[in-house]
Structure 1
Amino acid sequence: MERRILKTLEFDKIISMLMEKTTSELGRELAAELVPFTNIEEVRHAQKATEEASTVLRLKGSVPMGGIRNIRGPIERARLNSMLAPAELLDIANTIRSGRRLKNFLTDMSEEQDIFILRGLVDRIEGMRELEDEIRRCIDESGEVMDSASVELRQVRQEIRSLESRIREKLDQMTRSSSTQKMLMENIVTIRGDRFVIPVKQEYRSHFGGIVHDQSASGATLFIEPEVIVTMNNKLRESRLQEEREVEKILYTLTVQVADHLELLKENLEVLAELDFIFAKAHLAESMKAISPKLNDHGYLLLKKGRHPLIDRNVVVPLDVELGKSYTGIVVTGPNTGGKTVSIKTIGLLSLMAMAGLHIPAQEESEMTVFSSVFADIGDEQSIEQSLSTFSSHLTNIIRILGQLDERSLVLFDELGAGTDPTEGAALAMSILDYVLSKGSKLVATTHYSELKAYAYDTPEVINASVEFDVQSLRPTYRLLVGVPGRSNAFAIASRLGLDAEIIAQARRSVSQEENQVEKMIASLESNKKTAEKEREEAEQLRKQAEELRGQLEEERRQFAETKNQLLEKAEDEARIAVQLAREEAETIIRELRQMKKEGVDFKEHRLIDAKQRLGNAVLELEKEIVKKPAKAVRATQIKVGDEVMVDSFGQKGTVLEKVSNSEFLVQLGIIKMKVKKDDMHLVKETNTSKQPVQYTTIKRDRSHVKMDLDLRGYNVEDGIQEIDRYLDEAVLAGFHNVSIIHGHGTGVLRKGVHEFLKSHRSVKSYRLGGQGEGGVGATIVTLK
């Protein structure tokens, strides 16, 4: 991609905005080097990385990117065994910590979101905690080597502080002495060349002895190191030299450790630079309210509400344009200052941004393609140095473009053919357009020439477009109208500005009838375009309302079904509780009867069984269905147009509009018209306002004719088995869970035959001999499935 083209389309300004979003010099370097990719896989990877970073920002608000330093120079010097300064070592420690913190942050984030690319990057970051801890143990946040760095350093610094204290104390005594105060210019202790001195008046120089280190500009004051502290200052100087040697020793040791981690540090730097760059792209997208476009590599471009990113989004007019499917070229015509140049610059710049992995300011449905190259001839690029005219300059640029384009190129021409004779310029422009289209390139061109409107109309691959102009306000609206050629509006503008009507009329008569008809046709097209656009927006609004209503209906239907099921379950639970209470009451009565028998009341066993059976029948009455379900409303034998009906599948009332067939009607449901089967609706109100009564059906299981036991005494085995088979079927239909088969004691043959039959019966879950109070071995208790 030519750098000149990037500058022409103002891609360099986008790069400047991107650089401002970085947090480190490393990220700024990558941002400055960004150019569009021409391979779709590279573009997809870059767009996906930006999308992942945008997701992180949206969910977390910020990312811990601080503390990253450009330590390439220091680590390279460490490789050469050149001792690093404390500040450089501190930058290395801060960068290590920043990398580890960022790694932990994104690793935790990857557990919640799919950030595959970012996770892959941070996995390459090495913690190097030991190196960081060692640097921080020796160097404080201000970049000074600490006393704790070594025992020797602590000792020598203690000695230095002790000597400084003793020297200051000695000099303070001298400055406070009444005998020496008159000899001093000021009663202070100061330092010259790392030596403690006092300011002495010139005439008392010999009184103090020692060494003169400095004097004032006038020469009246001498800064003297008194003889009594020379030895102490010498000792202090030796201690400071020892301190310097110890500090150098510590710094050199740390430098060697940095050199041992050279490759890991370089890898960390590379990853941190890439992450800073990616998150800068996400921050830029956030500031532009940009989206990640769909991508393709077959030359199809669809921009919906695309905005030029360098124009205030509160002012810029969004652009809707499609290219590469029904047509591969667009010719934009119309007057100057109408926004034609902004339109083609928007198309070119957003294409470059998408190819560079940057999100674009447009709506979600936008789709961008990956071009092999983008060419642009925009604006007055006249070269004064080469003494080229405007036409020559443009033509030279166009010749260079025509020599490089291919079927995957995007070509942008602004004011094609301008700067020369209109007739020749228009002919040349059409020839250039033919050549570009013959190469298969995608094309957007602006022009003043009316001949190109006809060219676009006659060429199947090309479509006319214009930028809307408001004649009333004499201002362009900057809306691109694809499919409508532009018109000059010269007469309308002149009239609005107050030019004499007779002059305008004379001018109109000078224009050919054909041209006037074309202007009228274009005006009609513009009007129709506006009307169609308005109707499309209204239709879209109605479609959204219909979808919302459908969603509401589905939700109401779901809630109704859920409520119905809850009520049924509640009723069944209440019935089960009632049955259980009845059974418990029955068992209580049986226990009381048996207790009465034990106490001497004369009761026969079979009378106890009969009592239990009567109680069981009472329980069965409680088990009858207690929920009355409404039968389906009576359907009208003849539904007519105008009847109010209930659509069962939606649970929504509607009005019959039309009979489609004998089994299907067109029904108005709110704002929705839909075809409904006759079987899926019932009549609510006829046109004569007569109402159909709602019928209810009570479903009951009649158990009154089925007893809880079957008495087989006196039957042979064969007849007894037939009776059992019939009885068990009735008991199952009656809903019994347990029944009793009385076969008596006898010889046991009938009991054995009964048990053999029960083993294989389809309705029998289990069986057992009766217990006390159940007939004992003379009866068999059967549990049904």
Structure 2
Amino acid sequence: MPTLSRFAALSPAPVLLETLELLEWPRLCAHLASFASTQPGRRAAKATALPDDLEASRQWLARSIELAGLDGVTEGGLSFQGVHDLDAVLKRCSKGGVADGEELLEVADTLAAARRLRRQIVDPDLRPLCTELFNAVATFPELEQRLKFSLEEGGRVADRASAALAGLRLQWQSLRQQRRDRLQDVMRRWSAQLQDTVIAERHGRPVLAVKAGAVGHCKGMVHDSSASGNTVFVEPQAVIELGNRLAAQEGRIREEEQRVLAELSTAVGEQHDPLTKLGEVLLLLDLTLARARYGQWLGGVPPRLEADPDAPFALEQLRHPLLVWQQKREYGADVVPISITVAGDLRVVAITGPNTGGKTVTLKSIGLAALMARAGLWLPCQGTPSLPWCALVLADIGDEQSLQQSLSTFSGHVKRIGRILAALDQGATPALVLLDEVGAGTDPSEGTALATALLRSLADRARLTIATTHFGELKALKYSDSRFENASVAFDSETLSPTYQLLWGIPGRSNALAIATRLGLDPQVIEQARGLLSPQADGDVNAVIRGLEEQRQRQQAAAEDAAALLARTELLHEELLGRWERQRQQSSLQQEQGRQRLETSIRDGQKEVRRLIRRLRDQKADGETARKAGQRLRRLEADHRPAPERRRHPDWRPQVGDRIRLLALGKAAEVLSISDDGLQLTVRCGVMRSTVELSAVESLDGRKPTPPQATVQVKARGVGGRGADVRTSSNTVDVRGMRVHEAESAVEERLRTATGPLWVIHGIGTGKLKRGLRQWLETVPYVERVSDADQGDGGPGCSVIYPR
């Protein structure tokens, strides 16, 4: 079974600890600890160690994904309530010590919580890695039941834990009641000598407040007196012997309680090893859930860790996690994200730009991203971040000037870089190196030469080196060595303020003269400086930079033109869709008009047939031919009636369980429930739940929701009720004495115009007319059902027809 020791690296070298401090890793771990559920989890999160192999990092990530999914669908989220730190009590019990009742109850509560979590988590198909943690541990339900049976809330040993204990406590209660009765008797006899009628207690013994002048008349033991000396607290002689017996009884009770606690402690101590393993599993799960909740709170996504050391770095819209915390918890400024794409063949990236432009923040963001991925944490990025697993992350950031050690800024940097090079020679690979202001603090020409040689050396030793610099010569290394790349932080020369955006492929250009001009420096000085900076050769670096910036501006303008063209195309597409929809509606209208004309024609034909039937009946002729003609017309109507067009639903409405985007936050969320009217959604975004309007969300592919159509619900009485469905002369037809086909014609004519039930009086007789009508009505498509009328409306001699 995996334990925490497997995920902890060996004791890091001083240079590694120094790097963690420079990148503020302990501060990030403190933020992570705030999402842990238990005290051991918070301690372990604050001391988060970096796994020493790729597989361990991947397991942390996979487990956090598994628990994040379960936590999101569990009402109230996964709970570690009841889980306690058992290290101290297990160690004491295993060495023969006796734990008190509260500590033993904590063992029982932890076992109950572990069994509850086991039921929630174990699912080999959905959560194989978290399920594996429980395979080798036990939750000891018998031990839990024994502890809870023997102990009451607060840790008191229960009477049921021992028959001897129950008997002793019963005897103690009897003695205590005897003493109370004797005290009441003494109080009645001493009433004249007492200051009050309250039974006080001194040194664990009951006493009465006796007046100082009357103490000689009250036999007993004096235990105390009041501050004024007017009252003496006396234990009456009549209860002293009972008090001694109670004290002895209490001693025997404590001995029996201690014996029970010793037995329970022995039972716990016998399971020291499996209980310790269970505690480690619960700690691992708490840390895993804390990683998942912290990552969701950051708006992060699980990274993809590559085993290939030459795999590219791809971090889209990366935000510094500590700045995100400052923004959300301390209401700081919005965090400007950066995108980082480093191909597999690149080894060094030189970032240039003005001071306070965000170069150092960029270094720390990349360094923390590598450490977080290695520690199994989610990255505050978009998309799917991908990067190689970095065995070493080394940094030289900040000023290491020391007066005590007689170190200048340059000397401090050189000593730290020396430690970095030594760690690269001795440590594992691949390595990520972060250098801030490389070569600064000394003569610019010598600093440039040293920085160039150092970066070329690091290109051979480290997987990736990212360095910030102000030296223009370092910007040209890209054009002589394919392993080098340039990047810069953008600067708005009009407002004299940085934009904190990272531009790849383009080195930063000096803005000193622009800033000096805006600040009102003497124009002659500015012009003289421009003359000194005039290019002396076609390959001047600043000229190259200006050309690249102009090219970027042209590309940006072309991209804006393309975006405008795309917008016009989308408008045209929407217009075409509108025209098509109008044409489809017109076609449907024409089809409906044709159907109405056909039905009108059929009704006219049926009327003609009914007139023919009446003529035949008057002439006493056989109407079978007419009846068949009527049936044929009805079949013709059914065959030619067009099927109602199925209504298409291209519109989108969110359903429970869908992933949607909150427009106000720009974040993805999960739909938990929908109101009855469909206009409000309860959603979960990370660990937060909220209720939002339907109009405040959209689908992940940008579709807007269609509000539900307002429906009017009308409550009506059942068709069999006696409310509005009352038999009258207008909804009653008498077919007694008619033949079956004659009755069918008469009934059908009335059914065509009926708006409710139709009562048909056919009498009882032989039942032939009733059976014939019932058989015919079963074939009529617009009849819902037929039943006998109520007894007051004709009973079996009258049928009620309910049209659809």
Q: Same fold (TM over 0.5)?
A: yes
SS in 2 for 1:136: helix
Does the C-alpha gap of structure 1 residues 169 and 501 become closer, same or farther in structure 2, counting only changes over 3 Å? farther
2:81 alignment partner in structure 1: 66
Counterpart AA for 1:385: Q
1:151 aligned to which of 151, 163, 178: 163
SS in 2 for 1:91: helix
Residue 360 of structure 1 deviates from its aligned partner by 0.6
**Aligned counterparts of 1:160 and 1:625: Cα–Cα separation in 2:** 99
**Structure 1 position 486 matched with structure 2 position 508:** yes
**Aligned counterparts of 2:576 and 2:245: Cα–Cα separation in 1:** 95
Percent identical: 34
Counterpart AA for 1:349: L
**Structure 1 position 13 matched with structure 2 position 35:** no
2:236 alignment partner in structure 1: 226
Residue 43 of structure 1 deviates from its aligned partner by 1.9
Residue 319 of structure 1 deviates from its aligned partner by 0.8
**Aligned counterparts of 1:28 and 1:549: Cα–Cα separation in 2:** 57
Q: Which runs of 5+ in 1 are unaligned?
A: 569-617, 629-785
| 1:281-320 deviations in Å (ceiling 9; x for gaps) | 1111121111111221334211100000000455211011
Counterpart AA for 1:454: A
Does the C-alpha gap of structure 1 residues 213 and 530 become closer, same or farther in structure 2, counting only changes over 3 Å? farther
**Aligned counterparts of 1:549 and 1:56: Cα–Cα separation in 2:** 45
SS in 2 for 1:325: coil
1:139 alignment partner in structure 2: 151
Q: Which runs of 5+ in 2 are unaligned?
A: 1-11, 328-332, 592-632, 644-804
Larger Rg: 1
Residue 89 of structure 1 deviates from its aligned partner by 0.6
**Structure 1 position 436 matched with structure 2 position 448:** no
**Aligned counterparts of 1:255 and 1:58: Cα–Cα separation in 2:** 39
Does the C-alpha gap of structure 1 residues 150 and 407 become closer, same or farther in structure 2, counting only changes over 3 Å? closer
Counterpart AA for 1:26: P
Residue 54 of structure 1 deviates from its aligned partner by 1.8
Answer whether contact 1:38 1:371 (CA < 8 A) is retained.
Answer: no
| 1:618-644 deviations in Å (ceiling 9; x for gaps) | 9x999999999xxxxxxxxxxxxxxxx
Does the C-alpha gap of structure 1 residues 544 and 399 become closer, same or farther in structure 2, counting only changes over 3 Å? farther
**Structure 1 position 525 matched with structure 2 position 548:** yes
C-alpha RMSD over aligned residues: 4.7
1:121 alignment partner in structure 2: 133
Does the C-alpha gap of structure 1 residues 180 and 152 become closer, same or farther in structure 2, counting only changes over 3 Å? farther
1:467 alignment partner in structure 2: 489
Does the C-alpha gap of structure 1 residues 532 and 365 become closer, same or farther in structure 2, counting only changes over 3 Å? farther
SS in 2 for 1:31: helix
SS in 2 for 1:310: helix
Answer whether contact 1:103 1:123 (CA < 8 A) is retained.
Answer: no
Does the C-alpha gap of structure 1 residues 196 and 326 become closer, same or farther in structure 2, counting only changes over 3 Å? same
**Aligned counterparts of 2:352 and 2:149: Cα–Cα separation in 1:** 71
| 1:54-89 deviations in Å (ceiling 9; x for gaps) | 222233351021111111221222222222210111
- The correspondence of residues 612-623 of structure 1 with structure 2, limited to 5 A, is none
| 1:641-694 deviations in Å (ceiling 9; x for gaps) | xxxxxxxxxxxxxxxxxxxxxxxxxxxxxxxxxxxxxxxxxxxxxxxxxxxxxx
**Aligned counterparts of 1:548 and 1:122: Cα–Cα separation in 2:** 57
| 1:505-554 deviations in Å (ceiling 9; x for gaps) | 33323333359975465345345435645755886898899999999999
**Structure 1 position 509 matched with structure 2 position 531:** yes
Does the C-alpha gap of structure 1 residues 534 and 250 become closer, same or farther in structure 2, counting only changes over 3 Å? farther
**Structure 1 position 447 matched with structure 2 position 469:** yes
2:253 aligned to which of 243, 262, 270: 243
Answer whether contact 1:78 1:84 (CA < 8 A) is retained.
Answer: yes
Answer whether contact 2:139 2:278 (CA < 8 A) is retained.
Answer: no
**Aligned counterparts of 1:90 and 1:548: Cα–Cα separation in 2:** 69
- Kindly tell me the number of residue pairs found equivalent between the two proteins: 613
1:206 alignment partner in structure 2: 216
Deviates more, 1:499-508 or 1:457-466: 499-508
Deviates more, 1:116-125 or 1:352-361: 116-125
1:270 aligned to which of 254, 270, 280: 280
- The correspondence of residues 740-751 of structure 1 with structure 2, limited to 5 A, is none
| 1:459-505 deviations in Å (ceiling 9; x for gaps) | 22111111111223322111111112112311221222233333323
Answer whether contact 2:41 2:286 (CA < 8 A) is retained.
Answer: yes
**Aligned counterparts of 1:141 and 1:173: Cα–Cα separation in 2:** 36
Counterpart AA for 2:42: R
**Aligned counterparts of 1:81 and 1:552: Cα–Cα separation in 2:** 85
**Aligned counterparts of 1:187 and 1:626: Cα–Cα separation in 2:** 102
Does the C-alpha gap of structure 1 residues 95 and 624 become closer, same or farther in structure 2, counting only changes over 3 Å? closer
1:381 aligned to which of 383, 395, 400: 400
Deviates more, 1:497-506 or 1:427-436: 497-506
Answer whether contact 1:44 1:357 (CA < 8 A) is retained.
Answer: yes
Answer whether contact 1:415 1:445 (CA < 8 A) is retained.
Answer: yes
**Aligned counterparts of 1:393 and 1:93: Cα–Cα separation in 2:** 56
1:362 aligned to which of 351, 359, 381: 381
**Aligned counterparts of 1:508 and 1:293: Cα–Cα separation in 2:** 48
Does the C-alpha gap of structure 1 residues 340 and 246 become closer, same or farther in structure 2, counting only changes over 3 Å? same
Answer whether contact 1:328 1:462 (CA < 8 A) is retained.
Answer: yes
SS in 2 for 1:404: helix
1:280 aligned to which of 284, 290, 299: 290
Residue 114 of structure 1 deviates from its aligned partner by 2.0
| 1:17-40 deviations in Å (ceiling 9; x for gaps) | 112211213323432442333532
1:292 alignment partner in structure 2: 302
Answer whether contact 1:407 1:439 (CA < 8 A) is retained.
Answer: no
Does the C-alpha gap of structure 1 residues 528 and 220 become closer, same or farther in structure 2, counting only changes over 3 Å? farther
**Aligned counterparts of 1:624 and 1:164: Cα–Cα separation in 2:** 99
**Aligned counterparts of 2:166 and 2:433: Cα–Cα separation in 1:** 72
| 1:136-157 deviations in Å (ceiling 9; x for gaps) | 1221222222233233323322
1:400 aligned to which of 416, 419, 424: 419
Answer whether contact 1:174 1:180 (CA < 8 A) is retained.
Answer: no
SS in 2 for 1:360: coil
1:23 aligned to which of 17, 20, 37: 37
**Aligned counterparts of 2:474 and 2:501: Cα–Cα separation in 1:** 20
Does the C-alpha gap of structure 1 residues 228 and 535 become closer, same or farther in structure 2, counting only changes over 3 Å? farther
Counterpart AA for 1:136: K
Answer whether contact 1:71 1:92 (CA < 8 A) is retained.
Answer: yes
Does the C-alpha gap of structure 1 residues 449 and 209 become closer, same or farther in structure 2, counting only changes over 3 Å? same
Does the C-alpha gap of structure 1 residues 453 and 47 become closer, same or farther in structure 2, counting only changes over 3 Å? same
Residue 166 of structure 1 deviates from its aligned partner by 3.4
1:84 alignment partner in structure 2: 99
**Aligned counterparts of 1:367 and 1:455: Cα–Cα separation in 2:** 27
Counterpart AA for 1:3: L
Residue 393 of structure 1 deviates from its aligned partner by 1.1
Deviates more, 1:81-90 or 1:506-515: 506-515
